[in-house]
Structures are given as structure tokens and as C-alpha cells.
């Protein structure tokens, strides 16, 4: 059984500017992220990132849906963590999340929606 984290967060964008997303899977665990953006699915393996929007595009009221799956491979801990960092908006913001899986080798799923305001 997977441990689950779910959240919705607001991110203040700048008018007509793109947004950068960086994803860091912590605690020496492994995983990847699926992103749903404007009807398109993107895959981001491991620690990585992507850019959303383009110069001149208004991103307000858009939703960036992220699902990160982390597998516990670190024998020292069952703790998993993911930090999402958004930049390009009014300020760079970090969104850290953590959850402990019940047993070695299990999965954690982080489902995070970012609403751009």
C-alpha cells in the first residue's frame, strides 16, 4: 500500500511571464513525476524540471497538476520527501512535502495542484 500526500497550493505569477518548476526527490529515494498542463501530459524522471507558459502568455487561473511517485530504496529510512520549487512568478517559492512509507520498498504518491493566481 502506498502512502499518499495531497495538497493544493497557490502561486502568484507575474503577468505575461513563464514559470519554472524544479522537482527534488529527497532522502536518497527514487521516483518520477507526471504533470498535467493545459490538457497535455508530461513526464519528468527523477530530479528535474520544466517550464510552463511563454512570454506574453497570461498564466493566471491555470492549474499545474503534479503526481510524483517515490519508491523507498534507502535502507536507512522509510522517509520520503519531495520539494517543488516554482520560480518566475512574483517570488521563488519552495513547497516541501514528506511522508513515511509503512515498509521498506513501498511507494509514496504526492499529488499536488498548483493554482496560478
Half-sphere exposure of 112 toward its Cβ, with a 13 Å CA cutoff? 25
Cell (9 digits) for 107: 511507494
pLDDT tens digits, 7-41: 999 999 998 999 999 999 999 999 999 999 999 99
Across 12-92, the runs of DSSP E, i.e. the strands, are 19-25, 30-37, 40-45, 48-52, 63-71, 79-87
Whole-structure pTM value: 0.94
How many angstroms separate the CA atoms of 77 and 100, rounded? 8
Of 74, 66, 77, the residue nearest 113 (C-alpha): 66
Residue 107 has pLDDT above 70, yes or no: yes
Of 34, 23, 7, the residue nearest 99 (C-alpha): 7
Amino acid at each position: 500500500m502506498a502512502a499518499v500526500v495531497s495538497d493544493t497550493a497557490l502561486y502568484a505569477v507575474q503577468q505575461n511571464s513563464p514559470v519554472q518548476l524544479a522537482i527534488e526527490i529527497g532522502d536518497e529515494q527514487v521516483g518520477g513525476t507526471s504533470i498535467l498542463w493545459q490538457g497535455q501530459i508530461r513526464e519528468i524522471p527523477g530530479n528535474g524540471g520544466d517550464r510552463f507558459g511563454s512570454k506574453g502568455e497570461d498564466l493566471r487561473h491555470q492549474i499545474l497538476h503534479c503526481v510524483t511517485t517515490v519508491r523507498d530504496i534507502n535502507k536507512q529510512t522509510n522517509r520520503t520527501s519531495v520539494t517543488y520549487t516554482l520560480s518566475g512568478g512574483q517570488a521563488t517559492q519552495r513547497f516541501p512535502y514528506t511522508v513515511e512509507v509503512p515498509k521498506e520498498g513501498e511507494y509514496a504518491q504526492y499529488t499536488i495542484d498548483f493554482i496560478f493566481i
